[in-house]
Amino acid sequence: MKIENLIGSVGGDLKDELVEELLHRSRRKIDRALKRIRRPEAAVGIVKSPLGDLLVATSARGVALAHYLHDDSDLTVTIAKLRSDFDPVDDQRAVAEVGNEVRRYLAGDLEALRQNIDLTLVGHSFQKRVLGKLQAVPRGAVISYQALAAASGAPNGARAVGNALHSNPVPIYVPCHRVISSDGRIGGYGGGVARKIQLLRSEGFDLDNSQGRIPDNIVWGHKGTKIYCRRSCRTTAHVDRTRIFFFADPKQARRAGMRPCKICRPG
C-alpha cells in the first residue's frame, strides 16, 4: 500500500454522525460566545448626492458614516476602517434614504437630515467632544476653529480641532462645514473646499467660489451677551473671538435668540 494512501486513511473513516454531532454541540457554544464579542451590524452602500458619491453606513443607532468618495482605493480603506467597529452588510436600500435627505437638505428643506447619528467611528474623546459641541451650531451660522476649540475645552487647540474635523466620519450630518477660520477665510474641508462652499451656500451664505472668504454682510453674535453686530461695528476690535458665531444674515441671528447691537444697528 502506498504511503500517501495510508496518510489519507489516518483518523479512520470519519463518521458523518460524529461530525454532525460535534458541529451541533459546538455551534451553540460558539453562538453564545460570539454574542459577547459581536460587532454591531451596519448597512453599507454607495449613494449618489448633489455633493458627489457618498459611502454611507447606517447602524441601528443612526448614520455612522457618510464618506465623500474620491477613488477606489479610498473605498477599500474606508471599508477596512469601518470593519473594525461594525460588521458591514451590503444593503443599498437601507442607506438610499441618506442620499434623499442630503438632496432635500441642499434644496432647502430644514428638517431633511435625520437626527440619529452614531458616533461609534469617532475614535478619540477630544474628537467626540468637538463633534458634540459642533452639533449645537445651527444652520445658517458658522463658528471659527478657535471658538470651537475654546468651547471644547482647548482654547489653544484650533489646529487640533481642524484635525478632529478632518476625520469626521459623518460630515453634513455633523456640520463640520460650518467651521471657518477666525479671520473670515473659508478654511479647508475633508471633502474639498468646493463642497464646503456648496453646503454653506445652501444654508444661506452668499459665497463666491473665487473669494474663499465669508461675505462682509454677515453678522457676528456673542454667545454670552446674545447681541449681534455688523463686522464693521467698532466693538468687533475687542470682542472675545472664542465666544462668537457668524450668521449668514440678521434673520438667522434673531432666530438664534439674539438682539441687534444698538451701536452698529445691523437691522
Partner 1 sequence: MAHKKLHVPLPFETIMQRHEREIMRYLLRVLSDPEDAADLFQETWLRAYRAYPRLEPESDVRPWLYATASNLCRNRARDGARRSRVIVLDTEESTAANAIGRHHGSLHENEGYAAVHIREMISVLPTKQRQALHLRYFAGLDYAEMATAMDCTEESARANVSQAMKKLKARW
35 belongs to the binding site for partner 1 (CB under 8 A): no
Q: Specify the residue, 43 or 151, whose C-beta has the smaller distance to partner 1.
A: 43
Distances (CA, A) of 12 to 20, 25, 28, 121, 258: 16, 22, 27, 50, 84
Q: Specify the residue, 88 or 204, whose C-beta has the smaller distance to partner 1.
A: 88
Angle at 12 between CA 7 and CA 18, to 5 degrees: 135
Q: Which secondary structure element, helix H or strand E, spans residue 180, and what is its range?
A: strand 179-180
30 belongs to the binding site for partner 1 (CB under 8 A): yes
Site for partner 1 (CB under 8 A): which residue of 17, 90, 111, 125? 90
Q: Specify the residue, 23 or 263, whose C-beta has the smaller distance to partner 1.
A: 23
Q: Which of 176, 229, 233, 261 is catalytic?
A: 176
Site for partner 1 (CB under 8 A): which residue of 40, 60, 87, 240? 87
Distances (CA, A) of 232 to 86, 155, 188, 194: 50, 25, 25, 27
Residue 185 per-residue DSSP state: B
Longest dimension (CA), the chain: 105
19 belongs to the binding site for partner 1 (CB under 8 A): yes
Stretch that binds partner 1, among 19-27, 156-164, 199-207, 245-253 (CB under 8 A): 19-27
Phi, psi (deg, nearest 5) at residue 201 = -60, -45
72 belongs to the binding site for partner 1 (CB under 8 A): yes
Q: Specify the residue, 56 or 253, whose C-beta has the smaller distance to partner 1.
A: 56
Q: In what order do the strands lie in the sheet with 227-230?
A: 179-180, 141-144, 244-247, 219-222, 227-230, 259-260
State how far the Cα of 147 lies from the Cα of 181, in Å rounded to an integer: 10
State how far the Cα of 167 lies from the Cα of 171, in Å rounded to an integer: 9
Stretch that binds partner 1, among 52-60, 118-126, 166-174, 179-187 (CB under 8 A): 52-60
Site for partner 1 (CB under 8 A): which residue of 17, 73, 84, 257? 84
Residue 25, all three cell numbers:
454541540
Q: Are strands 87-90 and 62-68 parallel, antiparallel or unpaired?
A: unpaired
Q: Specify the residue, 13 or 111, whose C-beta has the smaller distance to partner 1.
A: 13
Site for partner 1 (CB under 8 A): which residue of 69, 96, 154, 193? 69
Site for partner 1 (CB under 8 A): which residue of 17, 35, 73, 80? 80
Tell me whether residue 176 is one of the annotated catalytic residues.
Answer: yes
Active site residues: 176
Interacting residues toward partner 1 by CB under 8 A: 1, 3-4, 6-14, 18-19, 22-23, 25-27, 29-30, 33-34, 37, 39, 44-46, 48, 52-53, 55, 69, 72, 75-76, 79-80, 83-84, 87-90
